[in-house]
Structure formats: structure tokens, C-alpha cells
Structure 1
């Protein structure tokens, strides 16, 4: 049922007016700005990826003002893509606009939530996920895993593959079983790598076993409610902070990391840990 703008709560009217302002500015920039006129779907792609990572960083830092800013940048890109797609496109002949994008996602959300908008029953998160995957297959997906983007980073892709497999019922029952698999994969990796001499016995096989080990660790992370991508990125950030502390502290003492022994560097590293850098 359609609603009249005037009948909407004031807060919703303000939201719609703000969105209308963005659409108007986008129209003006596309017509008047040389840089904006030049952009294509392809030229924006790498910029969108960059903006998404900047949003991710802001979320990890729990920086709400920065999250707000980065959300604006991502929203701008969505509007920009829709604006370009609404123009004549002789290459594909396919056109759509922002209203089509919004209508499409609304229709999909309604169809994918029959427990809210239909007669289906789903009392748990797992039931919702299973229903979601079943509906996607009915919509034409050939495989439960076909919804995993090929260009995802490997760690994120492993997590999404496992989540989707779980949605289809293919998963371990207990986390102890998963940990046993981790230990099994670790042993298989060690069998392909001579720890005493660090000589690779079979490089290709060792790489394959290391991949299996990482995949099993990602799998275990799901069972203990740890996002492996988030965990690794937090460790990356922690390492950067502590390494930069070593650089600054050693420089203040008139020393250079390149001229120090590992034992000397460890003293600064332990300082950073003690200070919870």
C-alpha cells in the first residue's frame, strides 16, 4: 500500500528529503562537473572497493563519526551507479534507475522473509538462514555456493563458503569435532614440512595442506563465534602499533632498528605489550 508523503512521520519525511537532496546533487554533478561526467561503472569500481574498506576500518575502530562519513561515501557510490545506469547505454541497451534498485531490494527482502510476510515458520537464526538458501535455489541459483563472489579475498570467501554449506545442512555437529579436524590438518601439514631443517619436502603438497589448515581454522572460528577476518585485521593493527612503537622508542634512545639485534628489539616489543599498545 502506497503512502502519502504528508502522512508520514516527520522523521521519515526528513529522511526522504535528505535522500532527494542527494539525488538532486548527483543529477547536477553528472551534468556539470567534468570529473563526474567522465565516470563509468568500471571507473568507479576500484573506488567503491576502497570506500568499503575504509568503512570496514572505521567499524573496527568503533569510530561512529567516521562510520557516518564512510556510509555517506558508500551511499554516494550506489546513487552514482544508478545514475549512470539510468542514462542511454548503447553497449548493453539495459537501463535502470535508483527506484528500480530500491524496489528490487524491497521485493527480495519480502520474498526472502516468508516468516514475516508469509506463512512460513522460522523461530531461530539457523532456520532463517536455511530458508534463505532454499529460496535462493528456487529463484534459479544452481548451487548453494553460487552466491559467493569469486573475487572475495580468500579468508572471507572461506568463511562465506562454510556459512552457506551450513545453511544447506552440511556442517559438523560439535566444535570438538572441528578442532580435531584442525589438529589433523596441522599434522598433515607437518608431514610435508621438515621442522628441524625447514626444508620443504613437497612445495605443492605443503601449500595444499597449509590451505586445508587455514580452512579448518576458519571453520572452527565459526563454532566459537569469532569472525576470522576481523580477528586477523585486529592482529594486523596491533602489530603495526607495536612495531611503530619500537621504531619511535628506539629512535628516541638514539638507536636504529636496522642496527639492533633481535634480542634488543624484543625489549622494545615487550615494552609495547606492557603498555598495551
Structure 2
């Protein structure tokens, strides 16, 4: 194994001391605070999900001060889970950290072993193959959490399939698939006047269209979840302007026509 050289971390001692301080505080809270004493792994779950979304918002807004705060909250949750588990001798924080360290070593044989990985794609493929062997999954897609939001799940499914070589070769091929799915959706949606829409078929074709668009986004380096969230935030900002500006002009948005609202919308787009 090649000896790994890394730059010496001048702040390592301070980091270890800070981590030890948080561990101590967690112990004190667990033993003395009525709320902290009452918590279980199950009761913390929804709070952790909330903190994760708050971190996501801070990252999208590029608010590094807020990112720091949210990372602190999530780190606290990780320590909290480990402390609760240690009370039943299930595992503790050392077990958690050692386990993830061993996993990183196993999944980076190009760093800690003799495997050669020339680029990022080779690293990803090695990672997925090793992960599949570790977990003993019968399917490459077996490791995709069932509870993931649909768009994120689509991304993970596609990435895992790519990890074993099941993917398009060129982005042009993916775009052709997008156009094909768009045509099929239009065929189901644009039915003749007077005919009832087959919602089940239209829904299926729309799902196929979304999946192919997510695939294309992945191919050109766009995270569709982040892209959509940025559009959500942009829409909210412009709609808030519409509400505020029209109110300042003494108008009630509920009584305005679409054309009148569009005048404020165009102003919002210029801000």
C-alpha cells in the first residue's frame, strides 16, 4: 500500500477539543435536562429531517454563516443518536466514526490499495460495485431508500445504474429520449375535443417525461432538485413582489385580472 501524504492540520487539536466539548455537553444534557432525557431515536427522526432541509436551504442561498449553524445542529443530532444507542450498548460515537472510516478506506482502493482509477467516473463505478458486495444486495438498486423524494430517487436510480455501466453514451441520445417521451405525453394529453382524458396513461407518460428530463440534467451536470428549488424560490420572490407592490398601489390581488397581475410580474423579473 502506498503511503498517503497529507498536509498537517494545524487546527487538529482545537477540532478534537471542540468535539470532546460537545460530547461532554451531550452527556450532561442527557443526564440532567428533562427534554433531552425523554428523547428517543424515533422522536429525533423528524427533527433531523427538518434540520437537513434547513441545511439544504442555507446551501442554496449560499449563506455560509447559516450553513455553519445548521451543520452544528446536524452534528448534535448525530451525537445524540450515538449517546442514546450507547445506553443499551448498541453502539457509541467511536463505533460510528470507526465504521465510516473503515468504509471510506474499503471504498477507495485507488487510495488505500492497488486499484487504479484514472478519473471520477472510475471512482464512482468502483464505489457502487464495492457497495453492492458489502451490502449483499441482489439488485444494484437495492440500496436506494424507498422513502426518498421521487426526484431525488430518480437521480439515485440513474446514478446506480450508471455505476455498473447501464447508461447512455452521449447526451444527444438522452435528449432524443426526452423528445420521444414528450411526443408520447402529448399524444396522451392532447386528445380530441369532447373525449375524456385517460389520466392513468397521461400520468404514466408524464412520469416517463420527467424521468428522461432528470436523466438529461444528470448528463449535463445539473442537479434537477436544486434547479427546481431555485425556480421555486424565484417564483416566491416575484409573487411576493406582486402582492406587496399591488397592495401599495391600493389594489386587491384577488380582484385583479391576469393581465393586470402580469404587469407587476414583469416588473418583478427586472429586479
TM range (shorter): over 0.9
How do residues 62-77 of structure 1 correspond to structure 2 at under 5 angstroms? 62-77=62-77
Query: 2:185, 2:209 within 8 Å by CA — same for their partners in 1?
Result: yes
Query: 1:193, 1:199 within 8 Å by CA — same for their partners in 2?
Result: no
Aligned-residue CA RMSD in angstroms? 1.4
> In structure 2, do the counterparts of structure 1 residues 197 and 224 end up closer, same or farther at CA, with 3 Å as the change threshold?
farther
Query: 2:29, 2:37 within 8 Å by CA — same for their partners in 1?
Result: yes
- Give ranges in structure 2 of 5+ residues lacking alignment: 1-7
Query: 1:250, 1:257 within 8 Å by CA — same for their partners in 2?
Result: yes
- In the TM superposition, residue 192 of structure 1 has moved relative to its aligned partner by 1.0
Q: Which residue of 2 aligns with 1:138?
A: 133
State the distance in 1 between where 2:216 and 2:55 align: 27
Q: Deviations over 1:167-215 (max 9, x none)?
A: 1100001111101101111111111112675965211111111000000
- In the TM superposition, residue 123 of structure 1 has moved relative to its aligned partner by 1.1
> In structure 2, do the counterparts of structure 1 residues 267 and 30 end up closer, same or farther at CA, with 3 Å as the change threshold?
same
Q: Which residue of 2 aligns with 1:253?
A: 249
> In structure 2, do the counterparts of structure 1 residues 10 and 225 end up closer, same or farther at CA, with 3 Å as the change threshold?
closer
Q: Does 1:119 align with 2:114?
A: yes
> In structure 2, do the counterparts of structure 1 residues 57 and 209 end up closer, same or farther at CA, with 3 Å as the change threshold?
same
Query: 2:161, 2:167 within 8 Å by CA — same for their partners in 1?
Result: yes
> In structure 2, do the counterparts of structure 1 residues 26 and 83 end up closer, same or farther at CA, with 3 Å as the change threshold?
same
Bigger RCO (CA 8 Å, 6+ sep): 2
Q: Deviations over 1:1-57 (max 9, x none)?
A: xxxxxxx96511110000000000000000000100110111000000000000000
State the distance in 2 between where 1:73 and 1:111 align: 29
- Give ranges in structure 1 of 5+ residues lacking alignment: 1-7, 89-93
Q: Does 1:61 align with 2:61?
A: yes
Q: Which residue of 1 aligns with 2:209?
A: 213
Spell out structure 1 runs of 4+ moving beyond 3 A: 195-200
TM-score normalised by length of structure 2: 0.94
Q: Out of 79, 86, 90, which is 1:95 matched to?
A: 90
Q: Which residue of 1 aligns with 2:17?
A: 17
State the distance in 2 between where 1:19 and 1:197 align: 67
